Structure 1
Amino acid sequence: MKTTALRIYGKCDLRLETFELPPCGDDGIIAEVVSDSICMSSYKAAKQGADHKRVPNDCATNPTILGHEFSGRILEVGAKWADQFKPGDRFGIQPALMYKGSLDAPGYSFTTIGGDATYVRIPSCVMEMNCLLKYTGEAFFMASLSEPMSCLIGACHAHYHIPAGTYKHVMGIVEGGKCACLASAGPMGLGLIDYLIHGPRRPKLIVVTDIDDARLNRAASILTPADAKANGVELVYLNTKCPDAVEKLMAISGGTGYDDVFVLAPVAPLVEQGDAILGFGGCLDFFAGPTDPTFSAKMNFYNVHYAGTHIVGTSGGTTDDIREALDLMGKGKINPAMMITHVGGLTAAKDTTLNLPNIPGGKKLIYNHVDFPLTAIADFAELGKNNPVFAELAAACARNKDMWNLEAEKIVMEKMPKLSV
């Protein structure tokens, strides 16, 4: 079977190419990839090429397929997996295999599997690590977003606190505690806030910061303080583009500081701001992965010693985190559609990946079997004046609080120009 896929050959060297996949064999699975959401981690891989820890050193001669936030349907199943999967099954993927201690992952390290492809051959190691996950939902984009949601869920699980007078690490955020989410009005921040408000363990106070009023206003219109209050959470949005941001954050906490702080941008002053607002025993989660291997920031070690403040960092989520994300989506408790601001076809994947930091908005969603430019949802109505498909998409999103949705997905898959191989 032929596939068309975006492959990485080196630093900023991405090529959309058509080539033959190996046969399924007894231990493989052939699948159609329907959608992939583009992650900053893919941008980092594209920028670093073979210097990236997950991209093979020989990618120039054995290019790998980019994209690790993807979903689709199974077409052919090797005999080894016939008792677990069948043609027609829909799936999500856990890219963090940790297979025999390796960092290899779909979307970085493999020549036959990645999210920016029309078809893939899934190697046996993915199934051996229980990383091919059945998905029973109807909207493919939801399963694509289960991976980024799992990263956020994993970050909340990785927090820990040590009760006074013990050496016990109590895992997870403080239930009924005070939480600050810094630089969190973007796509991943929205997912984090959604989980903190509607997930199984909730703080009593969440303060969300950003330095852009437009992002804060959009976040507040989607995740409203009124809805948070109905779930037992006080939700405050704060623009911290001011010299007294730490003082304002401390005042909102009642002067105690915060039990849990999430930092969603790799900016040293932001990390230091997060450290400054930690309360007694507070945990700071450095969630944003920097591209600079020498990135560092100051931390108050007086407070580490006397106030028990500490820091954690996570990169990705576990398979159980993805299962939790899929379960919460299926029950309608979280809605990662709010993370999506742009949609395009596979031909848009290369430029989108290479320019991701310069494209405003949230998650960029790719549908792999169609061909149209990356387009902001906010532009659908204007484009619809001359294009009936965009007019339909604008109407479908308007019926869903201007967010991406199943109806819009079906319109794209049925009516946008098909990818030419």
Structure 2
Amino acid sequence: MKTRAVRLYGVDDIRLDEFELPEIKDDEILVKVVSDSICMSTWKTVKQGEKHKRVPNDVKDHPIIIGHEFAGDIIKVGKKWQDQFKVGQKFAQQPAIPGQMESPGYSYDYCGGDTEYCIFQNDIIEAGCLWTFDGDAYFASSVAEPVSCCIGGYHTNYHTVPGEYTHIMGTKKDGDLIILGGCGPMGLGAISYGLTYENKPKRIVVTEISEDRINRAREVISEAEAAEHGVELIYVNTSKMEDQVEELRAITDGKGYDDVFVYIPNQAVCEIGNKIMAYDGCMNLFAGPTDPKFSSMINLYDCHYSRSKIIGSTGGTIDDMKEAIDKNNAGLINSAVMITHVGGLDSVVETTKNLPDVPGGKKLVYTHINMPMTAIEDFAKLGKEDPFFLELDAVCKKNKGLWSAEAEKMLLAHFNQN
């Protein structure tokens, strides 16, 4: 069958192509991709091309399909997998395959998210990185991958027991947690997860330097909503602080933070994070630097005497992804807080190439439609010319201005009729 897909050929060279998919082998599965969300990691891949560790050296002659945050429907199952997978089931997938560098969206000719149809090869399925789900929204499984990264951060942090050689995994229960630079899409995902995490903190402080971003964050996850879950949520604009270290510590009555998440790869922010840790505190460098020599000053005195710990986390496990999907379906987290834009497959090339300059959060792609990448907040303006967008705007506005399963169904039904 033919498919349209956005493929990588080299540095800054991605193209929307139409080509023929081969017949699947007995150990492969053919799927219809419905949604994919565009990740900053894909932008970094496009900037690096074949220099990227996951991209084949011969990508110029054998281009790969980009996009790794995708979900859809199973439409054909090879003999090997027919006892486990059925035609018509919805699928989710984990692109980070244990034990290998090859990954959907980075490495495969026929497997990636920015396409209408793709083929899951045997190595992906054997690793348990393809599974089915029963949720009512595809987008929630697309953004389950970035949500799983947030979940992975919470699970990666650890604390110790004085007098014992014991590591207690996870953020500290009833502790003070801070997310530095946390009003972007990943930060919002982390806030949403933290409100119902089994080790949930008593307080979550979120810093930002943009009042507009703070206001948007407050609209989708309010202090009142957090209080309903027994968590004190505080948004702080650090650009208005004279002494960030002292003023951030003062929120905890001088104790400091048990868990510090650094959500922007900035040297000064890392050093602030290091200075505001409590005794037995754990700082997680969550944001991935692009400079392999990225470093900052840390207090080794506190490391020795105050048991402070500095770690990093990247990505999430298969279990983290499944947790993200299950908790979203159960209403325990809201993955939609990450999404600010929606578009079609024809918008992927331009959006991906310019991703750092496109404001807002996650950009969600529906791969079987053509539609410019559009901010949800612009639906009302578009509704002046097209009544469909006026209806879509009304659906989003009754949901705090967020995307939803109802909005997704409306969009897919509308474009399938045109």
Choose the corresponding residue for 2:157, options 159, 170, 187.
Answer: 159
Question: How many equivalent pairs are there?
Answer: 417
Moved more, 289-298 or 328-337: 289-298
User: Could you tell me how far apart the structure 1 residues matched to 2:6 and 2:289 are?
Assistant: 24
Letter in 1 for 2:353: L
Matched with 1:147 is 145
1:209-220 mapped onto 2 (5 Å cutoff): 209-220=207-218
Deviation at residue 418 of structure 1 after TM alignment: 8.5
2:38 aligned with 1:8: no
Matched with 1:407 is 406
Q: Report if the CA contact (8 A) 1:91-1:135 is conserved.
A: yes
Letter in 2 for 1:81: W
Letter in 2 for 1:330: N
3-state SS in 1 of match to 2:104: coil
Q: Report if the CA contact (8 A) 1:369-1:418 is conserved.
A: no
User: Could you tell me how far apart the structure 2 residues matched to 1:34 and 1:252 are?
Assistant: 44
Choose the corresponding residue for 1:103, options 81, 91, 101.
Answer: 101
Matched with 1:385 is 384
User: Could you tell me how far apart the structure 2 residues matched to 1:366 and 1:92 are?
Assistant: 15
Deviation at residue 375 of structure 1 after TM alignment: 0.5
Letter in 1 for 2:198: P
RMSD across aligned positions (CA): 1.3
Matched with 2:355 is 356
Q: Report if the CA contact (8 A) 1:142-1:336 is conserved.
A: yes
Deviation at residue 199 of structure 1 after TM alignment: 2.3
User: Could you tell me how far apart the structure 2 residues matched to 1:45 and 1:294 are?
Assistant: 19
Matched with 1:93 is 93
User: Could you tell me how far apart the structure 2 residues matched to 1:167 and 1:355 are?
Assistant: 48
Q: Report if the CA contact (8 A) 1:160-1:171 is conserved.
A: yes
Deviation at residue 417 of structure 1 after TM alignment: 7.5
1:317-332 mapped onto 2 (5 Å cutoff): 317-332=316-331
1:158-307 mapped onto 2 (5 Å cutoff): 158-241=156-239, 242-307=241-306
Matched with 2:62 is 62
1:124-135 mapped onto 2 (5 Å cutoff): 124-135=122-133
Q: Report if the CA contact (8 A) 2:64-2:105 is conserved.
A: yes
User: Could you tell me how far apart the structure 1 residues matched to 2:391 and 2:416 are?
Assistant: 15
3-state SS in 2 of match to 1:155: helix
Letter in 1 for 2:175: G
Letter in 2 for 1:230: E
Query: Following superposition, which runs of at least 4 residues in structure 1 exceed 4 angstroms of deviation?
Result: none
Q: Report if the CA contact (8 A) 2:173-2:200 is conserved.
A: yes
Matched with 1:83 is 83
User: Could you tell me how far apart the structure 1 residues matched to 2:44 and 2:167 are?
Assistant: 33
Q: Report if the CA contact (8 A) 2:339-2:402 is conserved.
A: yes
Deviation at residue 111 of structure 1 after TM alignment: 0.9
Unmatched 5+ stretches in structure 1: none
Deviations 1:77-107 (CA, angstroms, capped at 9, x unpaired):
0000000001001011100112xx2221111
Letter in 2 for 1:248: E
Moved more, 85-94 or 214-223: 214-223
3-state SS in 2 of match to 1:198: coil
Deviation at residue 374 of structure 1 after TM alignment: 0.4
Moved more, 173-182 or 19-28: 19-28
Matched with 2:332 is 333
User: Could you tell me how far apart the structure 2 residues matched to 1:297 and 1:104 are?
Assistant: 31
Moved more, 101-110 or 361-370: 101-110
Q: Report if the CA contact (8 A) 2:5-2:18 is conserved.
A: yes
3-state SS in 1 of match to 2:204: strand
3-state SS in 1 of match to 2:195: helix
Deviations 1:237-291 (CA, angstroms, capped at 9, x unpaired):
1001133111110000110111100011111111111111111111111111122
User: Could you tell me how far apart the structure 2 residues matched to 1:391 and 1:297 are?
Assistant: 49
Moved more, 125-134 or 238-247: 238-247
Q: Report if the CA contact (8 A) 1:377-1:402 is conserved.
A: yes
Matched with 2:46 is 46
Matched with 1:30 is 30
Unmatched 5+ stretches in structure 2: none
Deviations 1:165-218 (CA, angstroms, capped at 9, x unpaired):
222211100001110011001111010000001222200111000001111111
Deviations 1:327-357 (CA, angstroms, capped at 9, x unpaired):
1012111111111100000011111111111
User: Could you tell me how far apart the structure 2 residues matched to 1:386 and 1:53 are?
Assistant: 46
Letter in 2 for 1:405: S
Q: TM-score, normalised by structure 2?
A: 0.97
User: Could you tell me how far apart the structure 2 residues matched to 1:200 and 1:148 are?
Assistant: 20
User: Could you tell me how far apart the structure 1 residues matched to 2:26 and 2:264 are?
Assistant: 44
Deviations 1:12-38 (CA, angstroms, capped at 9, x unpaired):
111111111121120000000000011
Q: Report if the CA contact (8 A) 1:371-1:418 is conserved.
A: no
Choose the corresponding residue for 1:123, options 117, 121, 124.
Answer: 121
3-state SS in 2 of match to 1:361: coil
3-state SS in 1 of match to 2:199: coil
User: Could you tell me how far apart the structure 2 residues matched to 1:180 and 1:158 are?
Assistant: 15
Q: TM-score, normalised by structure 1?
A: 0.97
